[in-house]
Amino acid sequence: MARRRTDLPPTPPLPAVVQTALWVFRPIQFMHWMRAHYGDTYRVKLLAAGDVVATANPQEIRKVFTAKAEQLHAGEANVVLAPIVGDNSVLVLDEQRHLRQRRLLLPPFHGDRMRAYEVAMREITQAAVARWPRGTAFRLREESQAITMDVILRVVFGITDPDRTREFRDRMNAIEPQRWFKRFALLPIASRIPAVERRLFAGFNRAKADFDALMLEEITARRAAPDAADREDILSMLLQATDEDGNAMSDDELRDELVTLVVAGHETTATSLAWTFELMLRHPDVWQRVVDEARDPDGSGEYVDAVVKESLRMRPILPLVARVIKEPWTVDGYELKPGRVVAPNIYLAHYREATWGDPEEFRPERFIGQQPEGSVWLPFGGGIRRCIGASFALYEMRVVIQEIARKLEVSAVRQSPEKIVRRAITFAPGKDVPIEVEDVDARAGESIRDATPAAAI
């Protein structure tokens, strides 16, 4: 039967409450099931977001990523984050205001700037590695969170004093999305009853007020600092940035963008690092090649980069990116009305057989010497909303992995793959990647001792 233009993409005959529960508690199985039954494009009914049309079709994804700012709104789709990141955040704005903030933020994240941040990234990893226990299992995801947090504090905020670092870290952890996200997901319902809303968010509002105060104090001090123009950190660059009318960011804008950079850049990079180790360590040939490259003074980093990209393919941290439709929009022949949501399905696009051939295989080689199109490999989203920190994250992951591979022998505690679980908005490894490490030199010493003939004892 010919498809009517008014049809909506298929959805299972289940009420929104059941679909929402499947999406929250069994997202991976739900996505594979939907694809098996309906193909690349389907509709899911979610309690908070309404009807979301998800698509893994590369042509449709390309259309979304090349749309004009007034046709599709990502900021409106991200609005659940507004209480954490603030109303001036690039994440929750659209059109002109979004463009202004994005232009102001982009220069310090340009690929050319990465070398300036490398030393800090290496030093922070070395300090973390020195603290890790030897020969005892620990959770890598928690440790990678500490590394990425310290990198943001040093490289983005320019904070080096240990006490000040601790103060920022504590206040930042207190507003972490992981801690509060479930409550914000209830906001559309809770906001109907002010007393419930006040009660639900009293703790968050206090923590956010504390954090904002600290941030404004830092911004004021840094505006007054005589060395602002010579500093390499991102906050110093943002303080001096001006838009085309010559206006700089206000304190409130700066504060919101700084929180955004922490929220968008900290847990995402930490979780990607943890997944990359989870995958590498279960593929000893891959890990050995990463180690060899890292310990080779002439190693180019090409292989580790390919490993990171392949890990982001198999374990994208965000499963989809959403856009609210502002003008009639067609997806796979279905004409959608303004107000509905279209979402490039990152996860299913990365597991598309027609694109990848063997999507279930962990094969970093597929990225060597090639960069797949943005409509088939999209861990950082795309178009005018593509992740501002993509180069930063890829660079940081390379530096951290190389540093660990140089200094340590690393082994996985578990051999079986970890389940993908939802942590707030990210897809994380269920067991936090338990590993054991030894110093490279200690192992070398051990093997020398092991080789000592018994007669010599």
- Please give the residue ranges that form the binding site for ligand HEM (CB under 6 A): 74, 90-91, 102, 260-261, 264-265, 268-269, 272, 317-318, 321, 379-382, 385-389, 392-393
Supply the minimum distance, in Å, between the C-beta of residue 197 and ligand HEM.
27
Alpha carbons within 13 A on the beta-carbon side of 297: 0
Backbone angles phi, psi at 67, to 5 degrees: -65, 160
The least CB distance from residue 377 to ligand HEM, in Å, is 12
Backbone angles phi, psi at 335, to 5 degrees: -95, 120
Residue number, 140 or 261, with CB nearest to ligand HEM: 261
Cβ neighbour number for residue 110 with a 10 Å cutoff:
11
Concatenate the DSSP letters of all residues of 207-226 into one string.
HHHHHHHHHHHHHHHHHH-T
What φ, ψ does residue 13 adopt, rounded to 5°? -80, 60
Of 190 and 420, nearer to ligand HEM (C-beta) is 420
Q: Which of 84, 23, 132 is nearest to 435 (CA)?
A: 132
Q: How far is the CB of 133 from ligand HEM (least distance, A)?
A: 26
Choice between 35 and 315, CB closer to ligand HEM? 315
Sign of the torsion angle spanned by Cα atoms 72, 78, 82, 84: negative
Quick one: 201 or 347, whose CB is closer to ligand HEM? 347
Minimum CB separation of residue 90 from ligand HEM in Å reads: 5
Where do the H-state alpha helices sit in 155-233? 162-174, 177-185, 187-190, 194-224
Least distance (Å) between residue 99 CB and ligand HEM: 9
Please identify, using beta-carbon distances, which residue of 177 and 265 lies nearer to ligand HEM: 265
Burial grade of 2 (CB within 10 A; 0-12, 13-18, 19 or more): exposed
Query: Three-state SS for 409?
Result: strand
**Closer to ligand HEM at the Cβ: 239 or 321?**
321
- CA dihedral 272→274→279→285, nearest 10 degrees, is 110
The least distance separating ligand HEM from the CB of residue 266, rounded to whole angstroms, comes to 7
Kindly state the smallest distance separating residue 260's Cβ from ligand HEM, in Å.
Answer: 5
